[in-house]
Structure formats: structure tokens, C-alpha cells
Chain A
Amino acid sequence: MIPLAYTIPMALQSGVASGTVKLFGAILKDATTGKVLGHVQPTQNFDQFIASASHQLGAAASHAFPPLDMALSAANTVQNQMILGKLAEMSSTLGIIQTLQFASLAVSGLGLGISVANLAVLQKGFKRIENNLERLGEAVERVTYERRRDDVRHDMNQLRIHVDAVISLEDRNEKDHPGHAAQQALAALAGRFETHLLIHVDDIRNSMVEDTDLELILSLAAAIRLCHDMGTRALFWLDDLGGAATLTARQASRFTELVDKLPPPDALARLAASGVEDRTIATENRARFLPLAKNMRTGLHETAASVMSQSTLSRQLLDQDIRGPDYLEAIKSHDEAPLLFLPVADNR
């Protein structure tokens, strides 16, 4: 029996509120010792739940990967607090969500980063990334070498094919070959998206930056993460949790290298104001751009934490002798709450 619970223990919720327990990606951990206390796991309901809360408030952030300005409108305003309040009101188990920045959920696009088991979120994530990249096509071309836009489109098509392959694993009798093939192809695709992202980061490191540059970086980062999530899901179906644990830790390290290469938000905001002689206008330009850059930074940090969460989740399942396919099936059948809680073995 997989010890998934519909509620996060009150002691942990209180710990999060008081700061003795931290939420890092999907990991609940002791703030002092770093010991993992459990994982939070969204169900199929999670995305719908956020959308519903947003819709009830007439909020702009009713879909999880809006343009940055829309995400921002939900980020630092009263509206943000209203959405969080509404989420808590709709479910007594969601106190934990209030500790998160709603905007980072929105911008990172794929929820808490524990989406390996949440197919609906993964599929919606793909569509959002694709739409975003299409909308940002001109920004892709502005910075890119010949046929870059075509390259990104081609890679997104490849991603769609391999996402479909992973989705089909659930219903296949023979999972080994297609599962491994899809996982390896997704790893290679992640490398290609890394290259696209690095090209763009190189371009903006020393030149004037625009809003669309940040959106493009986030979209490419989301594509990398989708590759990782779907590859991990394939390994879960193959019950290769050891491989998933090692691979996702490595992916998190590589993603962190990408994050390191991005200019700090202050530098991006000053680049956005570069060339302006008038002090007042330069200050205003920086002030307008800085929240966008910080939002991007938060989203990327969340993504790194989320990928790492999958490594600790895989280890946790191994420790508890839970098979990967069984875990995926269990998550699928627990769909009455937006969030589930998986305690560590000695917490049961």
C-alpha cells in the first residue's frame, strides 16, 4: 500500500508557517538539518484547481504559462494574495501552497515540479510552451543564426513525438524498448534546447534586453524541463528508479549551470535601460524591467529545485520499496484533492 495522504500533516504545515520546515521544489525538509520529511505531489486536479481559483476571481493568471506581464500582474499584487487565499479557502490541505510565490508557479508553468506523475499537467505544459515559442518566433529569429526558428520548431515537433511515446507506455504491453528509446531521445532533445537557450543567453549578456527575451528564455527552460519530466516518467514506467534518481540529480546540476550563466536580474534591468542618458527615464526603465527579470530568475530556480525533487522522490520510493509503475497508478487513482503527501519511511 502506497502511503499517499490527502492531507499534509498539521505538524509539517505548522513547521512551514514557522520556518522550521522548508518547501524546496516538491521536497518538504527540515530547515536546520536538511533532512527530507516528505514530498508533495499534485494530482490531475491541481492545474484545474488553480485555474478554477483564478477564474472565480476573474484573474488574468488563469492559465499556467501566461506572458510575463500577465504572470507579473498576479505576482506582486493584492490579486496574488486573493488567489492564494481562494486556494486555501477551497481546500484545507493547501496551506502549503501559500508559502509559494504564485507567480513562480505560473511562470515555471508546470506546477510544483512534481509533475512526473501528472500527465494532464505535462500535456498542458507542452501546449503552452509550443504556443509561447510560436508567439515569440520573431524574438527567436532576432538573435539567432540561420534557420534557428526552424530548428526550434523541429525540436518542438520531436518533443511532441516523444511525449506521445511516453504517454503511450501506460497502455503498452512491451515497455522496455519504446521506454528506453523515448527516454534517450528526450535526453538528447534537452541538450538541443540547452543549446538554443545558451545561444540566447550569450546574446543578451552584453546587449540591450527586451521583455520577449525573458519570455523566450523561460519557454526554452520549460521545454528542457518537459524533456526531463517525460524522460523521468518513462523511467518510472520501466521501474528504473535508481536510474531516475541519478539522472535527475545530474539534470538538476546541468540546469543549475544554465541558471549560473544568466545575468543577475539587476544586470538585466540595467541592460534594458542601457543607452538612456536621462536619469529619470533610465531609472524608470530599470524599475519596469526589474520585476520581470526577478520573476524569470524565480521561475528558473523553481525549475532547478523541481528537477532535483524528482531525484529525491525516486530515492524515497526506492527506500520504501514502491515500484515506479505502482506509484504512477496510485497518483492517477487519487484525484479527489489537488495535492497529495508522500511521507518518508520513518514518518509513517
Chain B
Amino acid sequence: MVGALTTSIPNMDHQTLAAHLDLLIWRDEQLEATTDQLEAALPELVDSVASLVDEAGTVELLKTSVTLRKSVDNHVKAWAAEQARVATKRAEIALDATISSLGTEIGLADDFREVAVAGLGATSGLAIIGGSLATIPTALTFATVTTGGFFGFFATASFSVPLLAIGALGVGVLSFTGSTVVHRAKTSARNKLKSRLLKAVEQQVMGYGMPVGQRTVLSDIQAMIIRAGENKIEDLT
């Protein structure tokens, strides 16, 4: 169904409109900065995950794929929590600057807060971020994320290495350890496993090649910023 204008926005004056647009710009700049940040940090994460696979022994790969899966999971989740901390800190500083530049006459009237929050929250209808927004606690604040209090979110939420990506080495490989052919086979299998694993990491962090509505680490962090921003504006007095 095609959306319609709800005319829920009260008549604005030029001050309220300017403030509203400034807050939209804050949101847009922070979403962009977060994507830039994760894009820039992703190669290092991928390399470190590759190292985890390289360093895992053959037996470990075969028999304890669950262990590898868990170690990669934890590695990525710790990385995600740190990325969230950096992104939300940046967003909070920028929002403080935006709010302080709104001008003294804006008065932070109820109408303004309502319109501003509605504007930021319009992203909830977007599949690319809406799924994450739906999972973020409504009371989330910047402080919760930047002090590490939200680390647990990534422990249970957006990232999980699929079982399919692990357990790539066939049982037969182990029984022929020592032969050159088998050594090549092991290397090839390890590389295949690594390739699948790294692809899974890229997909779950950035959503590359995934359906638009798929939750990712990126969309989760962006949703945190929007939700924390909404709460900060609502709490302004």
C-alpha cells in the first residue's frame, strides 16, 4: 500500500523546520559514517578471522569445529561491540553539537521533539535497517553502549557463524595424514573452509549479497544510534 502524508506534522515555523532538517542531517551523517567505519575496519577483521583458521590444527578443524565456530563468533562479536562503542560515541558528540547549534528560540517545545523523533524514526519502515530497530530496546541510551553495557547484545543477536561454514574437511582426509596428496587436499579444504567462513563474516557484518531485510552488525549499530538519538532528544528539557 502506498503511504500517504498523515499531516501529523504540526505547522512549523522556520526555526523548527531548520532544527528538524539539522537533526535529519545528523542522522544521515552518522549512518554514513558508521558504514564508512565498518567498511574500513572490515579487512582487518577478515584477516584476523583468516588467521584463526590458519592457526587451528587439522584435528581441531575436524573434531572441534564447534570450538572454532565459537572462537570466531566471539572474535567478531568483540569487534562489533568495539565498533558500536566508537560509532555511538561519535554520534553522541555530533548530536550534542547539533543540539547546541539549534538556537535559543527553538525552546525544545513538545511539537519540536515529537516531529524530530518522528523524522529520525521514519527509518523503521526501511527493510535495510527496520529489522534491527525492532530488536533494539526502546530505552537504549548512548551511555549504555559507550560504557560497554550493551556488549551482551552482540553475544546473542546479530552475528552467528552458520554451521554450514564449518566442518568442511572430510573425515577421509584425517585417515590419510602424511601423504603429499592428502596434504594438498587438506590445504585445499582448509582454504575452502576459510573462504566460506570469511564470506559469512562479510555477509553478517555488512550484508554483502544478502537479502535487503537481513539484519547485520552494521544495521544493528545504525539502529542503536537512531534509538539512542531519539531517546536523547525526548529527554531534552
Contacts and interface: CB of A to CB of B under 8 A. Distances in A.
A297 B14 contact: no
A326 to B, nearest CB: 24
Contact of A206 (B18, B208, B213): B213
Contacts of A35: 105
Interface residues of A, number: 60
Interface in B96-134: 101, 103-106, 115, 118-119, 122-123, 125-129
A207 B126 CA distance: 10
B215 interface: no
Nearest to A201: B3
Interface string B1-39: 011111111111111011011001101100110110001
Contacts of A29: 14
A343 to B, nearest CB: 17
Given A194-B5, A202-B2, A282 B14 contact: no
B14 A206 contact: no
Nearest to A36: B14
Contacts of A279: 42, 202, 206, 208
B207 interface: yes
Interface string A192-215: 001100110110011100000000
Contacts of A309: 14
B11 A250 contact: yes
Interface string A268-300: 011100111111001100100010001001000
A231 to B, nearest CB: 17
Contacts of A252: 12, 17
Contact of A308 (B9, B12, B125, B209): B12
Interface residues of B, number: 52
A325 interface: no
A305 B18 contact: yes
Nearest to A264: B28
B123 A27 contact: no
B157 interface: no
B101 to A, nearest CB: 8
Interface string B191-229: 000000001001000111100110000000010000000
B212 A271 contact: yes
B105 A33 contact: yes
A254 B14 contact: no
Contacts, number: 146
A257 B21 CA distance: 11
A263 B24 CA distance: 11
B208 to A, nearest CB: 5
A279 B109 CA distance: 45
Contacts of A246: 11
B206 A34 contact: no
Chain B contact residues: helix, strand, loop or mixed: helix
Nearest to B25: A301
Most buried by A among B6, B35, B101, B199: B35
Nearest to B101: A31
Contacts of B209: 275-277, 282
A217 to B, nearest CB: 14
Contacts of B125: 205
Contacts of B35: 266, 269-270, 286
B3 A34 contact: no
Contacts of B27: 264
A265 interface: yes
A257 B9 contact: yes
Contacts of A258: 5
Contact of B5 (A25, A257, A308): A257
Contacts of B104: 32-34
Interface in B46-91: none
A304 B17 contact: yes
Given A198-B2, A201-B3, A257-B7, 11 more contacts: A24-B14, A194-B5, A205-B127, A246-B11, A254-B5, A254-B9, A260-B24, A260-B122, A286-B35, A305-B14, A305-B21
Interface of A: 22, 24-25, 27, 29-36, 194-195, 198-199, 201-202, 205-207, 246, 249-250, 252-254, 256-261, 263-267, 269-271, 274-279, 282-283, 286, 290, 294, 297, 301, 304-305, 308-309, 311-312
12 contacts: A253-B10, A253-B12, A254-B7, A264-B27, A264-B123, A265-B28, A277-B209, A279-B208, A282-B209, A308-B12, A308-B14, A309-B14
Which 6 pairs from chain A and chain B are nearest by CB?
A277-B209, A266-B31, A34-B105, A206-B127, A34-B103, A266-B32
